[in-house]
């Protein structure tokens, strides 16, 4: 973390970002320098719920060019002591063509009351499909399903 503009006599501030595990207690610390006094923030408790996508699949495999390929799976979140359906959430479907390192956004689908989702696409080229909870709420973590390569003939 680095200090940002401010006057040491009137109160300065600093900011930074970092990746953290799902749960924990955090406190920011700024080490003293020749021009800045050491500083500690108040303790912050962060807790975010784990999510997962199970049964992820793109089918049929192989598929004839121009036919429909369906990406499906089930979104769950961990509540108390068990994995449960996570309904009414936007799941993003990504596609990476064979030989490419770039993922393309193919669209979104919403999970049903049992956490399941599916979305159809017109098969055009060989590649890998994956479903992702890319924009979770402030209380949940990001997750992705299994990547599934599909041969288009």
Give the DSSP per-residue string, 28-44: -EE---SSS--EEPPPE
Structure confidence at residue 141 (pLDDT): 85
Nearest to 36 by CA among 84, 4, 81, 83: 4
Q: Specify the pLDDT at position 132.
A: 96
Q: What is the pLDDT of residue 2?
A: 47
Residue 136: left if φ>0, alpha if ψ -120 to 50, beta else—which one? beta
Neighbours of 97 (CB within 10 A): 15
Per-residue confidence of the chain (153 residues) as pLDDT tens digits? Answer: 444 545 555 556 656 666 666 667 777 887 888 888 888 888 876 778 899 999 999 999 999 999 999 999 999 999 888 999 999 999 999 999 999 999 999 999 999 999 999 999 999 999 999 999 988 777 888 899 999 999 999
pLDDT of residue 12: 61
Strand pairing category for 39-40 and 29-30: antiparallel
Residue with tokens 């017109």: 122
The Cα 34–Cα 83 span in angstroms is 51
The confidence score (pLDDT) of residue 52 equals: 96
Burial 102-125 (b: 16+ CB within 10 A, else e): ebeeeeebebeeebbbbbebebee
Write down the pLDDT at residue 36.
Answer: 82
pLDDT at 39: 82
């Amino acid at each position: 973390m680095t200090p940002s503009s401010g006057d040491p006599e009137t109160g300065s501030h600093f900011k930074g970002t970092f990746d953290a595990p799902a749960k924990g207690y955090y406190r920011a610390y700024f080490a003293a320098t020749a021009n800045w006094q050491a500083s500690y923030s108040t303790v912050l408790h962060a807790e975010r719920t784990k999510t997962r996508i199970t049964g992820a699949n793109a089918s049929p495999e192989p598929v004839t060019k121009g036919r429909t390929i369906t990406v499906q799976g089930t979104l769950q979140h961990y509540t108390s002591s068990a994995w449960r359906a996570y309904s009414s959430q936007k799941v993003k479907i990504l596609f990476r063509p064979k030989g490419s390192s770039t993922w393309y956004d193919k669209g979104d689908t919403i999970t049903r009351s049992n956490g399941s989702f599916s979305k159809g696409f017109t098969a055009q080229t060989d590649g890998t499909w994956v479903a992702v909870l890319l924009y979770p709420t402030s209380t949940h973590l990001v997750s992705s399903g299994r990547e599934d390569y599909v041969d288009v003939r």
